[in-house]
Amino acid sequence: MKPAYVVMGVSGSGKSTVGRELAAHLGAVFIDADDLHPEENVAHMAAGHPLNDEMRWPWLDKCGQEMASHREEGPVVLACSALKRVYRDRLRKWVPDLVIVYPAADAVVIAERMSHRANHFMPVSLLQSQFATLEEPSSDEDVIRVNAEGTVEQTVKAVINAI
C-alpha cells in the first residue's frame, strides 16, 4: 500500500492548504474532508454551533473510506480536523498505517488567518471550541509535528524533510 497522511488541526491551521501542497509534492491524491461533510453539518457549523460526535462519526467514516479507496492509486493526503485521538483512531479503522501531520500554530495566529478567509462555513467564533476539543497527537500515533506559523512553503518543506 502507498503512504496515507492526514493533515489535522483546528480550523484555520492550514490543513487544506498544506495538504494540497504536500499532495502535489508527493504526487498524491488530495482529499479535503470539508468537501465530505453532509449539508446538515455545514449548516450547523455555519450557524455557529460545533458538531457533536453523532454528527462526526458518519463523516469520519466517509473520510476513511475515501482514503482507503484511493490507496492503490498512490499516496493519499487527507485534510481533516481529526481533533481528538478517538477521531484519528476512527480514521485508522479504514487506514491502519495512517501518518498524522500536525501543523501547529497558536490561537492568535490562526484567528488572524481565519479573519481573512472568504466563503468558508467555519466562523472564527468556533475557534475556541476547536482548541478546547483538540487533543494533540502523541508520539505513539506516528506523528509529524511542524510549526505552521511561517509560510505554507516552510511548513510543507518541514513535513517533506520529516518524511
pLDDT digits (tens, 9 = 90+) for 118-135: 554 555 555 566 778 889
CA distance 148 to 57: 27
pLDDT of 37-89, one tens digit each?
Answer: 999 988 887 887 878 899 999 999 999 999 999 998 899 999 999 999 999 99
Q: What is the CA radius of gyration of the chain?
A: 15
CB 93 within 8 A of CB 81: no
Question: First and final CA of the chain: distance in angstroms?
Answer: 16
Banded model confidence at residue 31, pLDDT cuts 50, 70, 90 = very high
pTM, to two decimals: 0.85
Identify the CATH homologous superfamily for domain 4-162: P-loop containing nucleotide triphosphate hydrolases (3.40.50.300)
> How far is 86 from 91, CA to CA, in rounded Å?
9
